Amino acid sequence: MVNGISPFGVQSVQAGTNATNQIKNKQDGSENQVSFSNVLKDSINALNQSQNESDKLTNALALGQDVNLDEVMIAAQKANITLTAATEFRNKAVEAYQEIMRMQM
């Protein structure tokens, strides 16, 4: 049996699309300008949401509730991929900061 797309999957894709569209629609000097901190905050919120969804589904499966194992595994992998991407982003940001600090004035 093929299951439809879960609302969680659609929400995470929409969150990424919205952040991308906000950056593309940025206009200098207008109220539509998106700051880096807002994009970063939205990304962290999406990461947190994916982790919480994975935890919720895993706990429901462990308690014997009616949860599809496929959904649990997909949610866990999405959370893992999101966390890995966030960790890589953090590592690159730290590397960039360290490189700037090594520059001589």
pLDDT single digits (tens) 44-101: 999 999 999 999 999 999 999 999 999 999 999 999 999 999 999 999 999 999 999 9
Q: Is the pTM of this model over 0.75?
A: no
> To the nearest whole percent, how much of the chain has pLDDT over 70?
70
Q: Is the pLDDT of residue 29 over 60?
A: no
The Cα–Cα gap between 98 and 80 comes to 27
What pLDDT shows up at residue 101?
A: 95
- What 44-48 contacts at long range (C-beta under 8 Å, 24+ apart), as own/partner pairs, is 44/86, 45/15, 46/12, 46/15, 46/16, 46/82, 47/82, 47/83, 47/86
Taking the CA of residue 18 as centre, how many other CA atoms within 13 Å lie in the half-sphere pointing to its CB? 12
User: What's the Rg (C-alpha) of the chain?
Assistant: 18
pLDDT at 10: 52
Mean pLDDT of the chain: 82
Of 35, 34, 45, 36, nearest to 11 by C-alpha is: 45
